[in-house]
Chain A
């Protein structure tokens, strides 16, 4: 079974430029998460989708970040414009949240460097 696939693995951009990350979750998983992991820290949730609906986006900086999950499958996270402080690893995860106690499976992440 294929895991969570993210692309690109690495991205270097200049500040004020836009950037987008893509995630394809595990087939059949109805819940998709985007987390941000700063250096030396644990991941922090940015947004959680159940199917097509964003059910928790309280931590998403909506002035510059946007996300979509069309058709309830893959998802895109966008930053426009990027700031130096956005440098981090962006992790996508998915789970089947029919029961509340299922674990999330993570992709390898996209390491973003803003210069």
Chain B
């Protein structure tokens, strides 16, 4: 069965602090894809990153970085030097490449609040 767990429901930090959002997933497929989406108050889900199961290289994009570890089934997301505009709900999601290809299984989301 596929499952995504984001254990942190809410996180509050002060601007310029670093923050890591945790994501743990479960799947039986050997080929799968992991995603992070941002949902600001406007409601639209904004795509941030996609990772396939064969690529465990960590990735950095500006203040964002992602740590993918298959050994622990984790795909954590770090924001460096957080800003107020980073305040949003962040979702981790899993997509399996088999018959369910394209279907996203989302975690419960982590609400990040960055205070000035």
Cβ distance B39 to chain A, nearest Cβ, rounded Å: 9
Number of A interface residues at 8 Å Cβ cutoff, please give it.
Answer: 28
Q: Interface extent on B, as a size class?
A: 20 to 34
B104 at the interface (CB under 8 A from A): yes
Cβ distance B85 to chain A, nearest Cβ, rounded Å: 18
Q: Is B103's CB under 8 angstroms from A43's CB?
A: no
Among A15-23, A64-72, A75-83, A95-103, the stretch that binds chain B is A95-103
Q: Is B93's CB under 8 angstroms from A42's CB?
A: yes
Using CB atoms, name the residue of chain A closest to B106: A42
A109 at the interface (CB under 8 A from B): yes
Cβ distance A32 to chain B, nearest Cβ, rounded Å: 10
Within B94-116, the residues touching A (CB, 8 Å) are 95, 97, 100-104, 106-109
Among B14-22, B42-50, B70-78, the stretch that binds chain A is B42-50
A87 at the interface (CB under 8 A from B): no
Write the A31-59 contact mask toward B (1 if CB under 8 angstroms, else 0).
10101000011111100101000001000
A109 contacts which chain B residues (CB < 8 A)? 43-44
Question: In whole angstroms, how far apart are the Cα atoms of A40 and B100 in the complex?
Answer: 25
Question: In whole angstroms, how far apart are the Cα atoms of A35 and B43 in the complex?
Answer: 13
Q: Is B103's CB under 8 angstroms from A103's CB?
A: no
A89 partner, pick from B43, B50, B93, beta carbons under 8 A? B43
A7 at the interface (CB under 8 A from B): no
B35 contacts which chain A residues (CB < 8 A)? 103
Q: Is A101's CB under 8 angstroms from B45's CB?
A: no
B102 partner, pick from A43, A91, A100, A107, beta carbons under 8 A? A100
Q: Is B104's CB under 8 angstroms from A45's CB?
A: yes
B107 contacts which chain A residues (CB < 8 A)? 42
| Contacts A103-B35, A108-B44; A42 near B108 (Cβ below 8 A) | yes
Pairs across A and B, CB under 8 Å, 15 listed = A40-B108, A42-B106, A43-B106, A48-B102, A56-B100, A89-B43, A95-B102, A100-B33, A100-B97, A101-B52, A103-B35, A103-B50, A106-B45, A108-B43, A109-B43
Query: A residues engaging B (CB < 8 A)?
Result: 3, 31, 33, 35, 40-45, 48, 50, 56, 89, 91, 93, 95, 97, 100-101, 103-109, 111
